[in-house]
């Protein structure tokens, strides 16, 4: 199956299924000499792992990573970095009843239409289980971005159902604020209401959608490759590749439909000898190239499709029937979605950082005629 790789200079390739023995990622392009251990990956993996709170799936997976290659004596070697995360708590028996049925909102039918065969155990390759190794790769990318440019990538939940967080300055939100509650919303007033809504829907055997914001600060101006590899285009693809994402916007997003050009343009100013903009309606990207302002993105995430309540569907033979999905599922995907989104943004930025550095080499250095300072 093609389509399992992402990126150019910082490139990840993943493999694994929901109820398989584990998931693996191969990362190419990690520069040599970066201090790295499995412990560096644990923080973000703990934020993504199932069973972490009462508003997430109760599947219990420790998600302990093993680095199989690319690190020697605590530093990256510059060769392919391979990370394995084994699965321990899959309950495939919960899915036997749906072997011949299509779950509404899932990829069961489309995988059958494509391959004529599917792994019905938790969705197989279409399951969000595969994102654990993406988060591991994202942790590597974050460390590289921080080391080179002091870049920070922070995501948070800003809406669950009708509940909208008030976050006046998204670029100022800290990881501590995000992690201050189990729903990962920095608005201390609305977060408990979000948790209550999610718990109510869990008891009602239903689910709820919402949105998350991801902000990258410290990104220098000039990253992005016109015209088809614009930074905004690659970020959108990265986020749309995550399960359950149905919309991505940056900057003011769809709010621009009600604005005049004179309202939406961001005036350029000089601050401390650096060119910036007074506002950031453009979300840190102009012409698909980073402007030096914070990169601000927002993702719409649909409600969890797996529901224990009966739903209408058909079998593989087209027979009308009902289905109620057993197993353990998130009543709201947003709390665990945040580290996944951060990871894909970081991976994309690391890729464009390395592409930009390669492009900026002087011709003499490329030919070996001058000594690199």
pLDDT tens track for 194-208:
999 999 999 999 999
Residue 102 falls inside a structural domain: yes
Closest CA to 102 of 302, 319, 303: 319
Contact 70, 82 (CB under 8 A): yes
pLDDT tens track for 286-342:
999 999 999 999 999 999 998 889 999 999 999 999 998 776 678 999 999 999 999
Number of domains in the chain: 1
> Is the four-CA dihedral 76, 359, 242, 26 of positive or negative sign?
negative
d(CA 30, CA 33): 9
Structural domain of 295 = 5-367
Residue 373 falls inside a structural domain: no
68 by DSSP, 3-state: which? strand
d(CA 11, CA 359): 17
Residue 218 falls inside a structural domain: yes
Contact 160, 332 (CB under 8 A): yes
Greatest C-alpha distance within the chain: 72
- Judged against a pLDDT cut of 80, whether residue 68 lies above it is answered with yes
CATH for 277: 3.60.150.10
Residue 344 falls inside a structural domain: yes
Contact 106, 95 (CB under 8 A): no
Contact 45, 132 (CB under 8 A): yes
- Computed over every residue of the chain, the mean pLDDT equals 92
pLDDT tens track for 144-160:
999 999 999 999 999 99
For residue 362, what pLDDT is reported?
Answer: 53
In terms of phi and psi (left: phi > 0; alpha: psi -120 to 50; beta: otherwise), the region of 201 is alpha
pTM of the model: 0.94
Neighbours of 140 (CB within 10 A): 27
Residue 372 falls inside a structural domain: no
76 by DSSP, 3-state: which? strand
């Amino acid at each position: 199956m093609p389509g399992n790789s992402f990126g150019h200079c910082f490139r990840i390739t993943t493999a694994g299924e929901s109820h398989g023995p584990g998931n693996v990622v191969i990362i190419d392009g990690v520069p040599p000499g970066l201090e790295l251990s499995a412990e560096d990956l644990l923080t973000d993996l703990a934020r993504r792992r199932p069973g972490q709170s009462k508003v997430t799936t109760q599947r219990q997976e420790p998600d302990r990573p093993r680095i199989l290659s690319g690190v020697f004596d605590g530093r990256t070697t510059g060769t392919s970095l391979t990370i394995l995360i084994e699965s321990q708590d899959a309950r495939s028996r919960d899915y036997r009843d749906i072997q011949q049925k299509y779950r509404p909102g899932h990829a069961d039918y489309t995988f059958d239409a494509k391959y004529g065969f599917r792994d019905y155990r938790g969705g197989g390759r279409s399951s969000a289980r595969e994102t654990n190794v993406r988060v591991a790769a994202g942790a590597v990318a974050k460390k590289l971005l921080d080391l080179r440019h002091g870049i920070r990538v922070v995501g948070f939940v800003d809406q669950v159902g009708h509940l909208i967080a008030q976050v006046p300055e998204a670029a100022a939100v800290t990881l501590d604020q995000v992690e201050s509650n189990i729903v990962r919303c920095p608005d201390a007033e609305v977060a408990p209401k979000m948790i209550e809504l999610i718990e109510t829907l869990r008891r009602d055997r239903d689910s709820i959608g919402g949105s998350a914001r991801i902000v990258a600060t410290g990104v220098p101006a000039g990253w992005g490759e016109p015209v088809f590899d614009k930074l905004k285009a690659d970020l959108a693809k990265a986020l749309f590749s995550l399960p359950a994402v149905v919309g991505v916007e940056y900057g003011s997003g769809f709010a621009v439909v009600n604005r005049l050009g004179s309202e939406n343009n961001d005036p350029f100013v000089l601050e401390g000898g650096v060119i910036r903009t007074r506002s950031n309606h453009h979300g840190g990207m102009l012409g698909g190239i980073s402007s030096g302002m914070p990169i601000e993105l927002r993702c719409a995430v649909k409600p969890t499709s797996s529901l224990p309540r009966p739903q209408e569907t058909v079998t593989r033979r087209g027979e009308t029937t009902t289905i109620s999905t057993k197993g353990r599922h998130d009543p709201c995907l947003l709390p665990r979605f945040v580290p996944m989104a951060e990871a894909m943004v970081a991976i994309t930025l690391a890729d464009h950082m390395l592409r930009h550095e390669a492009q900026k080499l002087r011709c003499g250095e490329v030919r070996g005629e001058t000594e690199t300072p």
